[in-house]
Homo-oligomer: A and B are copies of this chain.
Amino acid sequence: MYKKIDQKDIDFLLTILDKEDVVIGDDINEDYAHDELAGEIKYPEVLVFVHSTEQVSKIMKYAYENNIPVTPRGQGTGLSGASVALYGGIMLCLTKMDKILELDEENLTLTVEPGVLLMTIAQYVEEHDLFYPPDPGEKSAAIGGNINTNAGGMRAVKYGVTRDYVRGLECVLPNGEVINVGGKVVKNSSGYSIKDLVVGSEGQLAIVTKAILKLLPLPKKAISLLIPFPDLALAIDTVPKIIKSKSIPTAIEFMEREAIVGAEEFLGKKFPDNSSNAYLLLKFDGNSTEEIEREYENVAKLCLECGAYDVLIADTDERNESIWSARGAFLEAFKASSEIDECDVVVPRDKVAEFVRFTHDIQPEVGLRIKSFGHAGDGNLHVYPHKDDLDDKTWHERLNKAFDLMFAKARELHGEVSGEHGVGYAKSPYFVESKNETYINLLKGIKSAFDPKNILNPGKLYN
C-alpha cells in the first residue's frame, strides 16, 4: 500500500539534507529498529536527521505526495513502541533540533526545539531560578517525545502533567504545512484546542517542531519523607487518606523492599533503609522550611496512625538525592535482572491498593514474577512481569495472559490503559478493547482530518 523507498527518494532527501544526515540500509543502527521496550525489531528504510522546521516541512510534503510512511523519533526512550517504523519508510529523527530558543521571564515561558533533553531543560531553568514541573524518571528523553505521550512523572500529584505545561506548539502537518497552535497566551477559548489534541497523540497527527513551555518559579526548598510500613497494602491504603487530609505532597511513590535491594545492587549504593517490606516516599516543596514542615507534620502523624513504623526525614540535598536516585533506578535494576515487559495503567487513586494486590495475587495463576512500583499519589502504576528463564514462547503466552487480566482489572476500576507511557503498537490491542467502536471511530475520524493518507506514524493506537 505504501510506496517503497527508492534511489529517487534518497536523491530527493539529499537535496535537503547533508549526506551524514541520511542513513540507509545496513548503516542504520539497530537502536533505531526498536525503542526501550523489548519488542519487535523493525527498521525504517531510511533514517534522516533534521535540523529545521523547513526541512521537516519539505520532507513531509514529499512523503505525502509520494505516499511514504514517516515515523517521527526523538531519543527512542519510549516503552510502547510508538516510535518504531512498523511500515518502514522514513524515520524522521528530531534529536538534532535540540536548541533552547528563548527564555521569556516576563511571560514565564521557555521556547524549545523538540530534541532538547528533559535534563537539559531542568538544569537550564533552575539556573534561572525557574521550574519545569513534569518529571518523568527518564531524564534523557527529549521534550518532543514527552509532549507526544503527555508524559507525567513523579510530581504530577501536585503539579499535573506535560499537557498542563504546553502553552503553544509549532507543528508540521502530514502534508507539510506548518501551523502554530496556542502561544504565549495563558488563556484561550478560540476554537477546538488543536494544541491539546496534538499533545498525547503519539506523533500521529503532526510533528512538533517547536514548543512553548510554561514555567513556574522554582520552589526554594524540598523535603522528602521515607516512610517504612510492615506491608504494601497498609502503605498504599494510606495514600487516599493523605489526599483526604487535604495535604498535597509534590510526589507520593510506593516501593517494596525487593525494588530497593535491586536498585542498591544496580547502583552499588546503599538506600537509607531497606529493613521494611514496603515504603511510601513523599516529597514536599515550598518556599520555606516552616511552610513545608507545617504540611508534612500532619502527614507524618497520619502515616504513623495508619501503621507506619517510622518517618525518616531527608532535608538535605544529599539525602534527597540518594533516595530519589535509587527511585530513578528501579526500572533499570529490574531490566538488569531479567527481560521484562510493562503495564502502565492508571486507576483512580483510591483503587491503587486494589490493583496492586491484584497483580500480586495473579502471579501463581499466570506463572510469572510481577513486580511493581509507581506513582501511588496519582494512581499511575508501573507493573513489570519478569521473563526470568522462560523460553520465548512460554513467556509470551504467560505475558499475554497477565496483560489480559491486568487490563481487564484496570477497566473494571475505571482506569485507563496508559497513564504516561502511551499506547504505541504494543498496548494497542488492550487500548482498542478498552473503548467501544464509536470511540475508536472518532479517533480515526480525527486522524483522517489531519492525515487522510495515513502516512504519519501508522500502525499505532488503534490499527
User: Which chain A residues have a beta carbon within 8 Å of chain B's beta carbons?
Assistant: 104-108, 129-130, 149-152, 156-157, 160-161, 163-164, 173, 177, 179, 183-194, 196-197, 199-201, 204-205, 216-218, 240-241, 243-244, 246-248, 287-288, 290-291, 294-295, 344, 346-350, 375, 377-380, 414-423, 431, 434-436, 438-439, 441-450, 461-462
22 contacts between A and B (CB under 8 A): A104-B350, A106-B241, A106-B350, A130-B246, A160-B164, A177-B438, A179-B436, A183-B348, A185-B379, A185-B380, A185-B416, A186-B377, A187-B375, A188-B419, A189-B419, A189-B420, A191-B200, A197-B446, A216-B248, A217-B247, A442-B450, A444-B449
CA distance A243 to B187 in the complex (A): 16
Contacts of A448 in B (CB 8 A): 445, 449
The A contact surface, by secondary structure, is loop
Contacts of A189 in B (CB 8 A): 149-152, 200, 344, 418-423
For this chain, the copies found in one complex come to 2
CA distance A216 to B421 in the complex (A): 26
Determine if B193 and A108 form an interchain contact, defined as CB atoms under 8 angstroms apart.
no
Contacts of A287 in B (CB 8 A): 291, 294-295
Contacts of A105 in B (CB 8 A): 243-244
- Since A149-B189, A185-B419, A186-B378 are in contact, a sample of 12 more A-B pairs with Cβ atoms closer than 8 Å, ordered by chain A residue number, is A106-B243, A151-B189, A156-B186, A185-B415, A188-B346, A189-B200, A189-B418, A189-B419, A217-B247, A291-B291, A441-B449, A445-B445
CA distance A106 to B196 in the complex (A): 27
Determine if A196 and B196 form an interchain contact, defined as CB atoms under 8 angstroms apart.
yes
A177, A186, A291, A349 — most chain B CB neighbours (10 Å):
A186
Closest to A460 in B: B191
Determine if A197 and B197 form an interchain contact, defined as CB atoms under 8 angstroms apart.
yes
Q: How far is the CB of A164 from chain B (nearest CB, A)?
A: 6
Contacts of A149 in B (CB 8 A): 189
Determine if B188 and A150 form an interchain contact, defined as CB atoms under 8 angstroms apart.
yes
Determine if A200 and B193 form an interchain contact, defined as CB atoms under 8 angstroms apart.
yes
Determine if B157 and A186 form an interchain contact, defined as CB atoms under 8 angstroms apart.
yes
CA distance A163 to B163 in the complex (A): 10
Determine if B179 and A431 form an interchain contact, defined as CB atoms under 8 angstroms apart.
no
Contacts of A130 in B (CB 8 A): 246
Which of B196, B204, B380 is A186 in contact with, Cβ under 8 Å? B380
CA distance A184 to B351 in the complex (A): 10
Q: How far is the CB of A246 from chain B (nearest CB, A)?
A: 4
Contacts of A129 in B (CB 8 A): 246
Contacts of A152 in B (CB 8 A): 187, 189
Known contacts A187-B380, A188-B150: A217-B248 contact under CB 8 Å: yes
